[in-house]
Structure formats: structure tokens, C-alpha cells
Amino acid sequence: MKVRAPRTAAEAEAIQDELRPLLDLTGPGPLRPATVAGVDVAYDGDRLAAAVAVLDGTTLEVVEEVTVTGRTAFGYVPGLLAFRELPALLDALDRLTVVPELVVCDGYGLAHPRRFGLACHLGVLTGLPSIGVGKTAFVGGCAEPGPERGSWTDLTLDGDVVGRVLRTRDGVKPVYVSVGHRVDLDTACRNVLRLTPAYRLPETTRVADRLSRAALAGAG
DNA sequence: GCGACAG
DNA sequence: ATCTTGTCGC
């Protein structure tokens, strides 16, 4: 699998609009996935390192890790993050021995200006069930969820519910969850809660984050 | 027209 | 994303 490389923002947007119809928003998706993959990318100037960490869906123990290093081919443009991170992430996913039952992305999925964020793009290109978990607000409006872990509110955009603002730890800033491909919002949130037994962010993204940084440092 | 804006 | 010290709290 490979991402088409657009030359301009307009081209990138056209690709998103073209792929958007291939999205499978049919649920429920994996409720008790045996394996869950986390993906993340670290940068140092134009160098980058992408990492994929596959965890056991029950014990959350690391089952497999893959990293790839390379150079950025597309700058960061809000709404077009996938074109910056997907090439390397797909390379890493290709080298995986285990086929994860769910992929957790760092960023947004359906909650996107054209309803096709990183999680959707990755899902459509790999065919794998995927969800997006963002750390900060991007698009959509929401009310503040209750202070306890598990409470949430709708993330809405143009009158549509495009995701959820979910509290994963008591009294800690919530995360922004939106579906990517082949998973519904309820299932996405249940998975996120299972992946956050101790910290605000899913263990999958925590491991992938560490991995990508280490790979970047080790690639000198 | 002017800002805001996942990572 | 990344640049960065000390500091409050368990």
C-alpha cells in the first residue's frame, strides 16, 4: 500500500474527497480485539521516524514493534496531516508480522473538515479497522464532559456528531475520539477506555510515541 | 478580510 | 511536532 503524493494542498484535498466514499462506517467493529496497534511519527527537521506498536488487547503487553526512518515529503498543513505521516506509517505497517485487529491513530478521523482525517485515510488504505484519538481540539464544538473517567460529550461539526470528547482519567484533560474505518463511535470509545488503565493517552500511542522518538535518536 | 488550525 | 526549569502532588 502506498499513499498518492500530492504536489499541492488542492491536490491533497481532491484525493481526500475521492477516497472519502470508500470509508466503511459500518459498526460495531472489534469490541474485544486480540491485538491493537498504535502508530506515531517523530520529527527532527526534515528527518522522521514512524513507529507501529502492536499490543495484546487484553494484557496490553507489547507483541510487536516496527520502526522506519525517512524524510518528510509534505509539510504540516492542518487538515492534510495524513499526507505528511502516512507514507512512513504505511511502510512500517507493511513490515508487521501480526495483522492488528484495530489501529489507534494519533489525531482525528471523521472529525475533519472534509470528514477524512488521518485515521480514515489509514483505514481505507490498509483496510484495517481504525480510530483516531486526538490530544487537542481541532474541528468541532463540544461541551465540557464530567470530571470522572468515562464521561463524555458529543463533538459536533455542522450539525453532525463527528466524535466524542472523552475523559479517560479523573480530573484530567479529555481526549478527542473519532472513528476512522470499520468501527462505530461507541466501540471506539470502549476501546480507548480499555487502553487507558493508568494514563490519559492509550497505551498504544504511548508505546508508539516512545518507539518513534528512540528510532529518530538512534538513526542519527 | 482576519484568525484558528490534528501532529 | 518541537523548543524547555522548576514545581506541585501522590
DSSP 8-state secondary structure symbol assigned to residue A158 = T
pLDDT at A205: 97
Question: Strand C: which nucleotides have any atom within 7 A of a protein Cβ?
Answer: 1-2
- Report, as an integer, the average pLDDT of A35-59: 97
What is the distance between the alpha carbons of residues A179 and A28, in angstroms, rounded to a whole number? Answer: 11
Q: Are A175 and A105 in contact (CB under 8 A)?
A: no
- Closest nucleotide over all strands to A116 (CA to C1'): B6
Q: Protein A107 CA to nucleic acid C2 C1', in Å?
A: 17
Nucleotide C7 C1' to residue A64 CA (A) = 37
Query: Which residues contact residue A116 at a Cβ distance below 8 angstroms, ignoring those fewer than 6 apart?
Result: A16, A17, A19, A20, A23, A110
For nucleotide C1, give the residue with the nearest CA to its C1'.
A43
**pLDDT (mean) for A167-191:** 97
Q: Which residues contact A195 (CB under 8 A, 6 or more apart)?
A: A36, A60, A104, A202, A203, A204
CA A32 to chain centre: 18
When pLDDT is cut at 50, 70 and 90, the band that residue A218 belongs to is: confident
Residue A19 CA distance to nucleotide C2 C1' (Å): 31
Grid coordinates given for A188: 471506539
CATH number for the segment(s) A33-218: 3.30.2170.10
Q: Is the CB of A216 under 7 A from strand C?
A: yes
Q: Which amino acid is at A69?
A: T
CB of residue A44 closer than 7 A to nucleic acid strand C?
yes
Q: Please give the average per-residue pLDDT across A18-22, as a whole number.
A: 97
Q: What are phi and psi of A209, to 5 degrees?
A: -65, -45
Q: From the C1' of B6, which residue's alpha carbon is nearest?
A: A107
Spell out the residues 6+ positions from residue A159 whose beta carbon is closer than 8 angstroms to its own: none
Q: Are A173 and A160 in contact (CB under 8 A)?
A: no
**How distant is C1' of C6 from CA of A29, in Å?**
45
Q: What is the pLDDT of residue A220?
A: 72
Return the percentage of chain A with pLDDT > 70, whole number.
Answer: 100
What's the full length of chain A, in residues? 220
Strand partners, A117: none
Nucleotide nearest to A213 (CA to C1'): C1
> Mind listing the pLDDT tens digit for each residue in A50-89?
999 999 999 999 999 999 999 999 999 999 999 999 999 9
Are residues A49 and A67 in contact, defined by beta-carbon separation less than 8 angstroms? Answer: yes
